[in-house]
Amino acid sequence: MMEPEQEREIARGLRAGEPDAWRALYDAYARRVWQSAARWMGATAVRAADVADVVQETFLAAARSARNYDPARGSLWMWLCGIARNSVALHFRKQARQERLRQAGEWLAAGNQRVVRWLENREADPGEVLAAAELATIVRTVLTEIPLDYETLLTARYLDDVSVEQIAGQQQCSTTAVRSKLARARQAFREAFVKTSTYSPDGHARQPHAS
């Protein structure tokens, strides 16, 4: 247990951005953060590397918010503990998202290259493939990777079924301008979609499925 005077000195150093304070904080709490993160994550169900990532994210997040640390609101450990719990929650959300994307990518690689051909204007209509839940997972992921104005436009036109004329009225521009931007948005989506469906979440290229 850290002495109150030592904790106050570290807190003062953290707010001042002093390297020695960070070293003292890490030395005092790294092992405890590790043990807590491993317990929350289920030590037998995760790799040590995953726990290490959470510990690293915890101290990085602490570094970003150190100037706002207020000793009156709790001890250094309680502060770090709260950050660690948030880091664990973020880890599981990211893990779940990657698993959904991995499964969707495998589904696509296993025989649904028709979607890619459709996006590349090499097939008129992929039919029922467009309604698949796996495709929806990839589409949602891709939409977050293109510029926001493109995402908004594509969502309005193709998911909410807003007409080009209505969009033009809302944006106070011509239908020609909307169609031109839609073409650019589709191109951006097409490139991101092909990249997402070709590469797994760990960055390794998937072998293309023979069509």
Residue 96 to residue 130: CA distance in whole angstroms: 23
For the chain, domains (ranges, CATH) are 4-99 (1.10.1740.10), 110-198 (1.10.10.10)
For residue 206, pLDDT beyond 50: no
166-203, pLDDT tens digit by residue? 999 988 899 999 999 988 988 888 888 777 655 444 44
What integer is the mean pLDDT of 203-211? 39
pLDDT of residue 137: 67
pLDDT digit string, tens, across residues 58-82: 998 888 888 878 877 878 888 888 8
The pTM for the full model equals 0.49
- C-alpha span between 116 and 90 (Å, rounded): 31
Q: How far apart are CA 92 and CA 89, in angstroms?
A: 5
Helices (H), 43-174: 48-65, 76-109, 114-119, 133-143, 148-154, 164-171
Residue 1 or 65, more confident: 65
136 compared with 76, residue with greater pLDDT: 76
Per residue in 30-43, pLDDT (tens digit) is 998 998 888 887 75
pLDDT of residue 119 exceeding 80: no
Sorting pLDDT into bands at 50, 70 and 90, what band is 132?
low
The predicted model gives 143-153 an average pLDDT of: 83
Check: CB of residue 55 under 8 Å from CB of residue 33.
yes
